[in-house]
């Protein structure tokens, strides 16, 4: 981080801590684990544990829930939410871009100084604490 930025998310206008601050890695990982576990359970119950269907269920869950309510089940449990930088809800198109890049994995592992992955940068979104 440069000296002009004292905390991740400051240059985006996000507070240092509390509601609206940038979601930390720990919360993100726990949310991902919860969402992936739910997808595995659904794929096991309805699709004989198909790996492809696990990925499809995960993708649909991310796309539709983030687009409509701003968070997946895992996000909700750990208290984080996806928002556009303008503060509004993500919407179907931005959520589709974000989810597609998450499914490619690599874009989600490359972060900037504000701890935003390429998937969030491309969709002009940010993951914040609720």
Interval 22-50: pLDDT, tens:
999 999 999 999 999 999 999 999 999 99
Percent of the chain topping pLDDT 90: 72
The residue-averaged pLDDT of 55-72 equals 97
Residue ranges per domain, the chain?
20-129
User: What are the structure tokens assigned to 71, written together?
Assistant: 């968070």
Backbone angles phi, psi at 121, to 5 degrees: -65, -45
**Could you tell me which residue, 104 or 5, shows the higher pLDDT?**
104
The residue-averaged pLDDT of 62-88 equals 95
Confidence of residue 114 (pLDDT cuts 50, 70, 90): confident
89: pLDDT strictly greater than 90: no
Q: Which of 70, 61, 8, 52 is nearest to 32 (CA)?
A: 61
Residues 6+ apart with CB under 8 A from 103: 55, 58, 59
């Amino acid at each position: 981080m440069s000296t002009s930025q004292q905390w991740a998310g400051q240059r985006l206008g996000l507070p240092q801590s509390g509601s609206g601050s940038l979601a930390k890695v720990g919360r993100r990982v726990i949310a991902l684990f919860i969402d992936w576990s739910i997808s595995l359970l659904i794929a096991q119950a309805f699709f004989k544990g198909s790996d492809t269907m696990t990925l499809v269920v995960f993708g649909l869950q991310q796309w539709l829930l983030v687009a409509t309510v701003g968070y997946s089940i895992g996000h909700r449990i750990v208290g984080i939410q996806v928002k556009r930088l303008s503060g509004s809800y993500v919407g179907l198109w931005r959520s589709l871009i974000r989810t597609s890049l998450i499914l490619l994995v690599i874009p989600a592992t490359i972060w900037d100084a504000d701890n935003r992955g390429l998937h969030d940068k491309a969709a002009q979104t940010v993951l914040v604490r609720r």
